[in-house]
Amino acid sequence: MREAGADVGVDPWGNLFGIVPGSTAALAPLAAGSHLDTVPNGGIFDGALGVVAAIEAAAALREVRTPLRHPLLLLAFAEEEGTSFGVGCLGSLGAAGRAPALEALTDRAGRSAADAIRAFDPGVPRRTMPRAFAAYLELHIEQGPVLERRGAPLAAVDAIVGIARMSFVFRGEANHAGTTPMDGRRDALWGAADLVAAVREMARGTGGRAVGTVGQCTVSPGATNVIPGRADVTVELRSADGGFLDSLCGEAVAAARACAGRFGLEVEHRNRWTEPPVPLDARVHEEITGAARDLGWPIVSMASWAGHDAKILAAIAPAGMIFVPSAGGISHSPLERTAWEDAARGADVLCRALLRLDSWDGA
Amino acid sequence: MREAGADVGVDPWGNLFGIVPGSTAALAPLAAGSHLDTVPNGGIFDGALGVVAAIEAAAALREVRTPLRHPLLLLAFAEEEGTSFGVGCLGSLGAAGRAPALEALTDRAGRSAADAIRAFDPGVPRRTMPRAFAAYLELHIEQGPVLERRGAPLAAVDAIVGIARMSFVFRGEANHAGTTPMDGRRDALWGAADLVAAVREMARGTGGRAVGTVGQCTVSPGATNVIPGRADVTVELRSADGGFLDSLCGEAVAAARACAGRFGLEVEHRNRWTEPPVPLDARVHEEITGAARDLGWPIVSMASWAGHDAKILAAIAPAGMIFVPSAGGISHSPLERTAWEDAARGADVLCRALLRLDSWDGA
């Protein structure tokens, strides 16, 4: 960041940032970046690519002596993955003024997030980051197979999907796996298994508008020779359409009741987490698309099926995202890979989009 | 046992036994009994009822001064449930000359079965039990709802079902629950859930000739937001018909392969345990039925869907079992209950059957 001409600091949430001055006084900064943390055993692209690309854009603009009118805020957010303290986008939540209480968040060793941040010393001054941005741009790997399948090198993201997480408990009657006739059973796993199939068929039937996953399934008592008396499953649904997501949640609950009713079971559900979809800024989306066009590269429009810092930043600034392909759709793995030419194209579009955004008045 | 006129001992496997002398020299004993151990948090009838009924039969015969021609061997087997050392029917296996190595079996505290037996001091002499029986009779609660449903107070058991236990591992690809499109998923739980339904429908389709249970189901990695890459399930099948049981095992494996193939998964299976069905002795069955008829009580014939010591004893003696109803089919629970009049009827049939068996020549 310093080599790119930025004045560097670390904010109270452990986010690193650098400010490159603009040529026009009193304009709010254009911001660009992503996060630096990774999941355990993750790859080298998720997050870091967007940070490096933003710095590279600043360095390139400096090299060609083309200062922006706006200050350029380079961002390297902390703790986007939520691996250490269980809260995703912790750094960007802080930057957006929505951080949870840091003393109450602890890692596995029992250390609080507040203590971890106090101990974090990147050798730069602790400072407050500007909170009013003219726009926020984030380059990120797709983390899915859509671009690769469509043969497209780039996407402008139009929305970040909403996520609904529910848990279901099916209760039947634990009983002897031998002496209980088939027609006298109230097997909780029968209901849960049918719900797995129902969620699959429901999500498949949306024609790509939603995905649905049962990621956890536990049965109790869990012995080979005992009929399960209880089965717990989680259902996660995602869609970029908030109303549609709500209706799918209703369908999942209705399906669970039908599965339970079929076998004389009881079922309870709990909504554990709901995040509405976040549409990204249409004008920023247009500048990203225009930047790709300027450079002669095809670009498609798609939703992001994963959460990103841009989802948080969208609440305080016009925000946009650029996706580049993930080979095989693989992510959160050492096998995560994006071709360097794809990474470079993404960085070029980021830089070009910053130039286009810089022509905005005030914003 | 002593009050009933028996000479009491404990054998090398911790089985308590008592011998009431017979009137004719050189006849092998008639044996009657069951087990004394229970599952944790079990009821008071499972096992103990058969032991008490055998002693009561000896006491009754003594009271009316009707000694049997055969010696009467009263049996209280140890560790039928397999709770402490993981091997069911440990006591009767020992009595039948088929005990596994006791030094190698350990309980949760790490104590070997050999040490536990050495420490067991019921205050009676350690002795060897006779191993040649004229017949073996066991009264036991049904542990299922069949008698209650049929409105029958008694059953003569014609066979003890065979049990096949298999485990299946479905392998797909763990992946991001958001960014992986529905048509690009290889969700291991999809295969496992469909197998749960397939086993259910297969067993239901046998018209009561078999039961099938998936008692364990675990998914990995087991996170709300990760598509399961692996799912493990167990399948237990029971039937009194050995050939039919084998064919059902084949059907379960074929069903698992079909479930895996449907979703691009791999599946492996392992046969963990197979016990063939054990038919009980037809002549003993006839004497039990005759004894009920003598007493004017209706009796039905049925298979035992649970294992019992009689299954082990059947290998060394003509063996028979009498079932009495379990209220609501409940067992292995403090709620386990058999009406006292039902218990008394069972004990009366046991005693009467011993008298009928006593008229057998030599056997």
- pLDDT tens-place string over residues A47-87: 999 999 999 999 999 999 989 999 999 999 999 999 899 88
pLDDT at A361: 67
The mean per-residue pLDDT over the stretch B246-257 comes to 98
pLDDT tens per residue across span B302-348: 999 999 999 999 999 999 999 999 999 998 889 999 999 999 999 99
Nearest CA in chain B to A330: B175
Residues of B in contact with A143 (CB under 8 A): 176, 179
Which residue in A143, A149, A272 is closest to B176 by CB distance?
A: A143
Name which of B143, B182, B321 to mutate to probe chain A: the one with the most chain A Cβ atoms within 10 A of its Cβ. B182
- Asked whether the beta carbons of A329 and B182 are under 8 A apart, the reply is no
Name which of B46, B141, B160, B179 to mutate to probe chain A: the one with the most chain A Cβ atoms within 10 A of its Cβ. B179
B238 in contact with chain A, both atoms CB, cutoff 8 A = yes
pLDDT grade for A25, boundaries at 50, 70 and 90: confident
- State percent of chain A over pLDDT 90: 91
B192 in contact with chain A, both atoms CB, cutoff 8 A = yes
pLDDT at A360: 83
Tell me whether residues A213 and B227 touch, CB distance under 8 A.
yes
Rounded to the nearest integer, the mean pLDDT of chain B is: 95
pLDDT grade for B86, boundaries at 50, 70 and 90: confident
Residue A354's CB is within 10 A of a number of other CB atoms, namely 23
pLDDT tens per residue across span A110-132: 999 999 999 999 999 999 999 89
- Asked whether the beta carbons of A49 and A143 are under 8 A apart, the reply is no
Tell me whether residues B208 and A238 touch, CB distance under 8 A.
no
The mean per-residue pLDDT over the stretch B8-14 comes to 97
| Nearest-angstrom CA–CA distance, B363 and B352 | 18
Tell me whether residues A181 and B214 touch, CB distance under 8 A.
no
Tell me whether residues A189 and B214 touch, CB distance under 8 A.
yes
Tell me whether residues A228 and B238 touch, CB distance under 8 A.
no
- Write the single-letter amino acid at B274: T
Tell me whether residues B204 and A183 touch, CB distance under 8 A.
yes
Inter-CA distances, B72 with A151, A210, B36, B54, B357, Å: 85, 73, 19, 9, 11
pLDDT tens per residue across span B21-46: 999 988 999 999 999 999 888 899 99
The mean per-residue pLDDT over the stretch A39-49 comes to 93
Q: Which fold has domain B162-275?
A: Alpha-Beta Plaits (3.30.70)
pLDDT tens per residue across span A289-323: 999 999 999 999 999 999 999 999 999 999 999 99
Tell me whether residues B177 and A223 touch, CB distance under 8 A.
no
- Residue A363: is its pLDDT beyond 60? no
- List B213's β-bridge partners, or say none: B236
B207 in contact with chain A, both atoms CB, cutoff 8 A = no
For the A7-159+278-357 domain, the top CATH level (class) is: alpha beta
ipTM score above 0.85: yes
The mean per-residue pLDDT over the stretch A272-276 comes to 88
Element (H, E) at A91: helix A90-95
Which residue in B216, B227, B228 is closest to A224 by CB distance?
A: B216
Which residue in A196, A215, A231 is closest to B225 by CB distance?
A: A215
pLDDT tens per residue across span B125-139: 999 999 899 999 999
B208 in contact with chain A, both atoms CB, cutoff 8 A = yes
The mean per-residue pLDDT over the stretch A152-175 comes to 96
Tell me whether residues B223 and A216 touch, CB distance under 8 A.
yes
> In chain B, what are the domain boundaries?
7-159+278-357, 162-275
| Nearest-angstrom CA–CA distance, B310 and B304 | 10
- Residue B120: is its pLDDT beyond 60? yes
What pTM, to 2 d.p., does this model score? 0.89
| Nearest-angstrom CA–CA distance, B39 and B80 | 9
- Asked whether the beta carbons of A77 and A33 are under 8 A apart, the reply is yes
A204 in contact with chain B, both atoms CB, cutoff 8 A = yes
pLDDT tens per residue across span B175-219: 999 999 999 999 999 999 999 999 999 999 999 999 999 999 999
